[in-house]
Amino acid sequence: MNYKYLFFIFIVIVWGCGTRKEIIPKYRFEIGKELTYLIKADVNLNADLGLFYYNSKVALDSKIAFKAIGTNDYGYRIQCDIKDVNMEGLSNQIEVAALVGINSLRKLLSEFDIDEYGKARVMVNGVEVNYLSYLVEVFFVGLKDINEKVFFSTNVYGWLDKNTPIVSKYEYESFIKEKRGNVILIYQSGSVNTFERENFEKSVEPVSLGLIKYEMNSKFDLVNGRMLDKNLVIDFKYEVPLKQGLIKTKLKVSGNGEIKVSPFELEI
């Protein structure tokens, strides 16, 4: 027996095992291909306006479609569309308001940039709006942020009413919970805390208008570089001051629910 060949084979095997590379999670988009996901949500909603109390179990289903239309210095340019929205359990007035909000979101997220690690960039009038980028990243999950705690505050203020600007403080962390074959399960938990801008900037302990907390599990396909199933559990509670003429009151809104996202049509 030629021991030189045995030694050579042994070296090749050891070298091969030692240099085997782990698949690095990255998103992959094929230009012109559309990824469509089905969103189903069930939310228990409570609203208290003093003399008026509203309680309902709300069901929503919709489709959201993403299509890469090109590349740029940031990564991919993505077109997004929210369509086939159906809601049950809302009064007519609240449903109209919800549809206005969804249509506004559809317009704001109609196009955005995203890199191969899921870091999004949403621009409005030439300025990146970080909370809109955050909404995209909640859907895709930032792969660079795994095992890190992330904190940031709103860089473009929202409005409670025409005279009251608001700011939100965001916090989240994520980690890989398990790996099965070519699919990893990413766990993420986070919160969004909202304040009146003046109170937030001037007070040592600003008074919160409301808090959203969530836990999310997302399955990611390492080979195809795309998000698969996603399950999101949310809990929220808001206490918003309202003024109608000389009358001041508070709108208390609270609830909890579950949102599920699954592939509808991976390729069209």
pTM: 0.83
Amino acid 90: pLDDT: 85
Amino acid 47: pLDDT: 87
30 part of a folded domain: yes
Domain enclosing residue 136, as ranges? 24-265
7 part of a folded domain: no
Amino acid 67: pLDDT: 95
Q: How far, in Å, CA of 203 to CA of 195, rounded?
A: 11
Q: How far, in Å, CA of 157 to CA of 193, rounded?
A: 14
Type of residue numbered 119: K
Amino acid 164: pLDDT: 81
204 part of a folded domain: yes
- 3-class secondary structure, 147: coil
Under 8 Å CB-to-CB from 73, ≥6 apart: which residues?
none
Amino acid 267: pLDDT: 44
6 part of a folded domain: no
Distances (CA, A) of 175 to 31, 65, 82, 146: 29, 26, 28, 5
pLDDT tens per residue across span 53-110: 888 999 999 999 999 999 999 999 999 999 999 999 988 877 888 888 899 999 999 9
Cβ atoms < 10 Å from Cβ of 125: 6
Tokens representing residue 167 in the block: 């700011």
pLDDT-flagged residues of the chain (< 50): 3-16, 18-20, 266-268
* Domain total of the chain: 1
* CATH code: domain of residue 255: 2.30.230
Amino acid 23: pLDDT: 58
